[in-house]
């Protein structure tokens, strides 16, 4: 998959590319699309068991589209959000003016990310109890236990965390969906030139793969993440997601900066629900 051969592939007759798609479509079912596992998370689980589940949850639900977990490179890391490595040590006393201990701070950071914005960052993180991550209370607990393990020792058990504040959900709903006009997915696809490279017609290859829900779900399953997380990652960090023989490094990699969080969710939802395409 060298860069030169990928560019060469771009110039090959469309038939060959089409042939690849057929092969790809036939090959991928081996990894069979399965809905993300609902994990049984119980009050009997130890904090370290929860941390293990939390690690998988953080990966599968799209957190790593924005966050890196890279020890030794500082808080800034390379993501759109803070580097989560060592967060337990860094936030052992919570934040000034906010929750004064790690567990409460982490719970709040997940429920209401805007409440205490980390300095130098914009309020782009969606509440983890809302789309696309949609963590339930037990999953938030597992994620918190995992974050505690990054630079510390997990202590959180099911029942220890406050429940998500109801008003946080409504606040995020208005913020996420209320930006009139700007979040119509069809407008975004046109305005940001997505459709010059991606067709909405199944099987039609322009420059990149067509937007087909089944293909997206299969690619997500092959990568071990939810379709929402996969689509979001493909938009924010297209270099991280390379799709078969399509030309690499062709998709602009600055959409993460040009699109608002609300626009990214609007696109994600739209691309995942074919019935809304008509």
Site residues for ligand HEC per CB under 6 A: 58, 61-63, 65-67, 80-82, 87, 91, 106, 109-110, 113, 117-118, 121, 123-125, 128, 133, 135, 143, 147, 192-194, 196-198, 207-209, 215-216, 219, 231, 234-235, 238, 241-243, 246-248, 250-252, 255, 261, 267
| Cβ closest to ligand HEC, residue 45 vs residue 133 | 133
Q: How far apart are the first and last CA of the chain?
A: 36
Number of Cβ atoms within 10 Å of the Cβ of 254 = 9
Which ranges of the chain would DSSP assign to H, the alpha helix? 3-11, 14-27, 47-60, 87-90, 102-111, 137-149, 166-177, 185-191, 194-197, 213-223, 227-236, 255-258, 261-272
Map 48-71 to HEC letters: HHHHHHHHHHHHHCCHHHCCCCCC
Contact 234, 241 (CB under 8 A): yes
| Cβ closest to ligand HEC, residue 28 vs residue 45 | 28
| Cβ closest to ligand HEC, residue 44 vs residue 174 | 174
Minimum distance of ligand HEC from residue 194's CB (angstroms): 3
* Main-chain dihedrals φ then ψ at residue 72, nearest 5 degrees: 85, 0
| Cβ closest to ligand HEC, residue 118 vs residue 171 | 118
Contact 62, 252 (CB under 8 A): no
Nearest to 169 by CA among 117, 128, 116: 128
Give me the numbers of helices (H) and strands (E) for the chain, helices first please: 13, 0
What residue has token string 């209370």? 137
Minimum distance of ligand HEC from residue 87's CB (angstroms): 6
Task: Report the distance separating Cα 217 and Cα 228, nearest Å.
Answer: 9
Minimum distance of ligand HEC from residue 243's CB (angstroms): 4
Minimum distance of ligand HEC from residue 59's CB (angstroms): 9
Minimum distance of ligand HEC from residue 267's CB (angstroms): 5
| Cβ closest to ligand HEC, residue 44 vs residue 155 | 155
State the burial class of residue 268 (Cβ atoms within 10 Å of its Cβ: 0-12, 13-18, 19+).
buried
| Cβ closest to ligand HEC, residue 45 vs residue 198 | 198
Task: Report the distance separating Cα 16 and Cα 22, nearest Å.
Answer: 10
Minimum distance of ligand HEC from residue 240's CB (angstroms): 9
Minimum distance of ligand HEC from residue 106's CB (angstroms): 5
| Cβ closest to ligand HEC, residue 34 vs residue 44 | 34
């Amino acid at each position: 998959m060298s860069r030169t051969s990928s560019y060469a592939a771009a110039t090959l007759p469309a038939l060959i590319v089409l042939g690849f798609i057929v092969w790809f479509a036939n090959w991928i079912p081996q990894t069979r699309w399965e809905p993300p596992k609902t994990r049984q998370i119980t009050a009997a689980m130890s904090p370290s068991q929860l941390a293990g589940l939390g690690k998988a949850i953080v990966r599968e639900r799209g957190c790593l589209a924005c966050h890196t977990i890279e020890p030794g490179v500082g808080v800034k890391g390379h993501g759109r959000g803070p580097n989560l490595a060592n967060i337990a040590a860094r936030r052992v006393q919570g934040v000034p003016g906010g929750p004064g201990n790690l567990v409460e701070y982490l719970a709040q950071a997940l429920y209401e990310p805007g409440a205490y914005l980390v300095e130098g960052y914009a309020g782009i993180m969606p509440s983890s109890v809302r789309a696309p991550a949609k963590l339930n209370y037990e999953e938030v607990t597992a994620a918190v236990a995992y974050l505690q393990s990054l630079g510390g020792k997990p202590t959180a058990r099911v029942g220890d965390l406050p429940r998500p504040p109801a008003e946080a959900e409504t606040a995020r709903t208005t913020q996420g969906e209320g930006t009139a006009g700007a979040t119509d997915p069809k407008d975004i696809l046109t305005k940001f030139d997505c459709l010059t490279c991606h067709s909405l017609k199944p099987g039609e290859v322009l420059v990149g793969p067509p937007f087909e829900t089944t293909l997206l779900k299969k690619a997500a399953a092959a990568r071990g993440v939810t379709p929402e997380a996969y689509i979001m990652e493909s938009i924010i960090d297209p270099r991280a997601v390379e799709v078969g023989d399509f030309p690499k490094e062709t998709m602009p990699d600055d959409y993460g900066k040009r699109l608002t969080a609300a626009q990214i969710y609007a696109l994600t939802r739209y691309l995942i629900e074919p019935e809304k395409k008509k």
